[in-house]
């Protein structure tokens, strides 16, 4: 399934993406929120992917992904230049357990000082921010280095819980 998601006009360099989702039930909304682009992902099934192709404007300086899921067992951010994977604990207390770069079939662990590290947090009014998440979403800040090198397209993949 493919759709165009429109920011403001291309003349002020706001990005406009062509979005293609794997599962037709997944809903992707691209928003401009005060100098940053926010991509809202709603996936009832909890496993999916979406590809984004910039069709006008320029890549945003700040890109936030909001995944409305109950868990975040694995998340991948992929471009022609880099693939970054993050795993979060599926126990009651949320924390990102590791992140890694995937290149040529090999995986390399990265730390928060790496320019490709993704900031992953829960945004919720839920006390204790426990998994499974009953309200709110996972917010991922796409690293500026990823945005800078991605070119005009990227893909995201997500799994709420391994089945």
What phi and psi, each to the nearest 5 degrees, are found at residue 73? Answer: -65, -40
Handedness of CA 7, 9, 11, 17 (dihedral sign): positive
Confidence (pLDDT) at 148: 94
Q: Is the dihedral of CA 103, 108, 114, 120 positive or negative?
A: positive
Averages of pLDDT over each 10 residues, the chain, 163 residues: 47 83 96 91 96 95 95 93 85 68 88 92 79 88 95 96 65
- Is 115 within 8 Å of 143 (Cβ atoms)? yes
- Omega within 30 of 0 (cis) for the link into 20: no
Contact between residue 58 and residue 93 where contact means Cβ atoms under 8 Å apart: no
The rounded distance, in Å, linking the Cα atoms of 29 and 27 is 7
**pTM of the prediction?**
0.87
């Amino acid at each position: 399934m493919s759709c165009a998601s429109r920011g403001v006009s291309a003349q002020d360099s706001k990005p406009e993406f062509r979005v293609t989702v794997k599962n037709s039930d997944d809903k992707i909304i691209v928003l401009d929120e005060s100098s940053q682009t926010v991509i809202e992902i709603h996936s009832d099934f909890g496993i999916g992917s979406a590809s984004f192709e910039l069709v006008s404007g320029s890549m945003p300086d700040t890109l936030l992904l909001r995944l409305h899921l109950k868990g975040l067992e694995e998340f991948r951010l992929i471009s022609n230049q880099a693939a970054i994977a993050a795993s979060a604990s599926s126990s009651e207390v949320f924390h990102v357990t590791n992140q890694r770069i995937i290149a040529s079939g090999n995986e390399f662990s990265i730390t928060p000082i790496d320019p490709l590290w993704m900031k992953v947090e829960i945004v919720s009014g839920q006390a204790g921010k426990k998994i499974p998440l009953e309200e709110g979403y996972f917010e991922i800040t796409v690293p500026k280095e990823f945005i800078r090198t991605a070119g005009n397209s990227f893909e995201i993949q997500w799994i709420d819980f391994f089945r």
